[in-house]
Amino acid sequence: MDRYGPDVTAEKIHPRYLRMPHAERGMVVGLFGGSFNPPHQGHALVAEIAIRRLGLDQLWWMVTPGNPLKSRNHLAPLAERIALSEAIAPDPRIKVTAFEQALGMNYTADTLARIKAVNRQVHFIWIMGADSLNTFHKWQKWQTIAHTFPIAVIDRPGSTLSYLSAKMAKSFHYARVDEDDARVLWKKRAPAWTFIHGPRSALSSTQLRAGQ
């Protein structure tokens, strides 16, 4: 059985979404990955805050085939999640993509290594919501991820204090960058991370799937 579960065949997806987006030399690019099942305005808010506070030239909205830490029983088709993401992310700086499906890579660490290998002259920042920070240490090769690109953690409801309690935050406390310096995070050598406070949306994909 495919690791990613049901209905993720590339034939149903426009080829442009299966190619890694193009970024020019010297650009600062945010990488925002997730299953987006479904995408919602909370995700759009994270992307908006990241673009503004980090001074991004682009943000790659990476719709993953699946998440090994979550059940795939109710995972919507990849093409559907791409279309819904496009609908709520109209900013031209946001590039909705599903190139991980074409690469066939299983884990974020491997994807980031590939991105780094083919974009040597681009400055990347990995972006995650604060709710993901709490479980980051369960990700495959999470420490490798932290050493690959700087990380920006965007505040989410119920997770504001994760920058104090999360295992990743404790392990890399020495590498934390003050959020006032978020716009120069891209200049920092990984490991480097910051926690960005700001407006929060209470929406969650879990609640939306449950019809709440």
Residue 29's SS3 state is strand
Q: Residue 113: enclosing H or E segment and its boundaries?
A: helix 108-118
Output phi, psi for 95, to 5 deg.
Answer: -110, 100
Are 96 and 65 within 8 A, CB to CB? no
Name all domains of the chain by residue range, CATH numbers in brackets.
21-209 (3.40.50.620)
Output phi, psi for 45, to 5 deg.
Answer: -65, -40
Which position has the higher pLDDT, 122 or 3? Answer: 122
pLDDT for 23 beyond 60: yes
Confidence of residue 71 (pLDDT cuts 50, 70, 90): low
pLDDT for 160 beyond 70: no
Tokens of 31: 């990488």
pTM for the model stands at: 0.87
How much is the pLDDT for 64?
A: 93
pLDDT for 150 beyond 50: yes
How much is the pLDDT for 161?
A: 66
| Residue 166 DSSP one-character state | S
Q: Of the given ranges (41-45, 101-105, 142-146, 149-153), which has the lowest mean pLDDT?
A: 101-105
Helix/strand number for the chain, H first, E second = 9, 6
Beta strands in the chain, from DSSP E residues, in sequence order: 28-34, 58-63, 94-97, 123-129, 151-154, 193-196
The mean pLDDT value of the chain amounts to 87
pLDDT for 72 beyond 50: yes
How much is the pLDDT for 210?
A: 45
Tokens of 116: 């780094």
pLDDT for 44 beyond 60: yes
How much is the pLDDT for 203?
A: 46
The residue-averaged pLDDT of 189-203 equals 80
Q: Residue 43: enclosing H or E segment and its boundaries?
A: helix 41-54
Are 148 and 185 within 8 A, CB to CB? no
The residue-averaged pLDDT of 21-32 equals 98
Which position has the higher pLDDT, 68 or 128? Answer: 128
pLDDT for 1 beyond 60: no
Q: Residue 62: enclosing H or E segment and its boundaries?
A: strand 58-63
